Amino acid sequence: MKPTVPPHLQPGANLRHYKGGRYTVVGACVIEATLETGILYQPCQGDSQDILWLRPMSAFDEMVEAADGPMPRFEAI
């Protein structure tokens, strides 16, 4: 089962979180419990650059409420 991943979430893509953090996509995976496609990503700054994070792929294109109104959770940079 190979996940289908859009270009902006391919390995090596650089993303900015709506709170300002920068991240690099490491790769895609299948979340065992749900069989959803997950995206592994890594911080580009701070003291936890050696830790990988995982979110369902659908969360990357979600809109979130910010101080300035709705905005994408992540945007490609």
Q: Write down all domains in the chain, each with its CATH number in brackets.
A: 7-76 (2.30.30.320)
pLDDT tops 80 at residue 3: no
What integer pLDDT is reported at residue 62 of this predicted model?
95
Q: pLDDT tens across 32-77, in order?
A: 999 999 999 999 988 888 899 999 999 999 999 998 899 999 999 9
**pTM for this prediction:** 0.88
pLDDT tops 90 at residue 1: no
- List b or e across 27-66, with b for residues whose CB sees 16 or more CB atoms inside 10 angstroms: ebeeeeeeeebbbebebeeeeeeeeeeebebeebeeeeee
Distance CA 34, CA 23 (A): 24
